[in-house]
Amino acid sequence: MIVLKKLSKHFRIILFLGIIPLYSMDLDSFYQQVHKQSLQKNYIHFRHRKLLSLEAYHLLTPQEKLSLKYSLILVSSQIESFIYLNTLSGVGISTQKGSHLQFDIKYYETLKDIGIGGKFHAMCVLPYFDKCILLGFEAF
CATH of the domain at 43: 2.40.50
Within a domain: 6: no
Q: Which residues contact 132 (CB under 8 A, 6 or more apart)?
A: 75, 101, 102, 103, 104, 107, 122, 123, 124, 125
Confidence category of residue 140, pLDDT binned at 50, 70, 90: low
Residues 97/54, Cβ–Cβ less than 8 Å: yes
Task: Identify the pLDDT of residue 17.
Answer: 46
If one counts the domains in the chain, the total is 1
Is 0.85 surpassed by the pTM of this model? no
pLDDT at residue 61 in the model: 97
User: Is 65 a domain residue?
Assistant: yes
113 in a structural domain:
yes
Identify whether 131 is part of a domain.
yes
pLDDT on residue 9 = 52
Q: Is residue 12 part of a domain?
A: no
Domain limits at 41? 25-135
Q: How big is the CA angle at 37 (ends 64 and 132), to the nearest 5 degrees?
A: 70
Q: Please write the tens of the pLDDT for every residue from 20-64.
A: 454 567 999 999 999 999 999 999 999 999 999 999 999 999 999
Query: Is residue 102 included in any domain, yes or no?
Result: yes
User: Is residue 74 pLDDT above 50, yes or no?
Assistant: yes
Whether residue 15 lies inside any domain: the answer is no
